[in-house]
Amino acid sequence: MDEFMLIFRHQDGNKIASPEQMQIWMKQTMDWIGGIAAQNKFISGNGLFFDDAKIVHANRMVTNGPFGEIKETIGGYIMVKGNTIEEAVEFAKGCPILQGEGNTVEVRRIAKADGIH
Partner 1 sequence: MNSFRPLPPARGGTYVRMMQPGLIPHLFRTEFRKITAVLCKVFGMEHIEVAEDLASETFLSALETWPYKGIPENPTAWLYLVAKNKAKNYYQRNQLFAEKIAAKIKTESPEATEIEINLSEENIADSQLQMLFAICHPAIPMEAQIGLALRILCGFGIEEIANAFLTSKEVINKRLFRAKEKLRTENIAIVFPGNNEIQDRLDTVLTTLYLLFNEGYYSESQDAVLREDLCLEAMRLTYLLVEYEPTNQPRVNALLSLMCFHASRFEARRNENGEIVLYQDQDESRWNEELISKGAWFLHIASQGKEMSRYHIEATIAYWNTQKTDTPEKWENILQLYNRLLRLVYSPIAALNRTYALSKVKGKAAAIAEAEKLELPGNHYYYVLLGELYSEIDNAKSLQHLQQALQLAKTETDKRTIQQKIITQRRKGT
Of 24-32, 46-54, 62-70, 95-103, which part binds partner 1 (CB under 8 A)?
Answer: 24-32
**Under rule CB under 8 A, residue 46 binds partner 1:** no
Side-chain-facing half-sphere of 46: CA atoms under 13 Å:
3
Min. distance of Cβ 40 from partner 1 in angstroms? 4
Q: 42 or 50, CB closer to partner 1? A: 42
CA–CA distance, 79 with 48 (Å, rounded to integer): 14
Residue 88: how many CB atoms within 10 A of its CB?
Answer: 24
CA–CA distance, 84 with 37 (Å, rounded to integer): 17
Q: Give the closest residue to 15 by CA, choosing from 83, 91, 92, 73.
A: 73
**Under rule CB under 8 A, residue 33 binds partner 1:** yes
**Under rule CB under 8 A, residue 77 binds partner 1:** no
Of 14-22, 38-46, 55-63, 99-107, which part binds partner 1 (CB under 8 A)?
Answer: 38-46
Per CB under 8 A, residues contacting partner 1 are 27, 30-31, 33-35, 37-40, 42
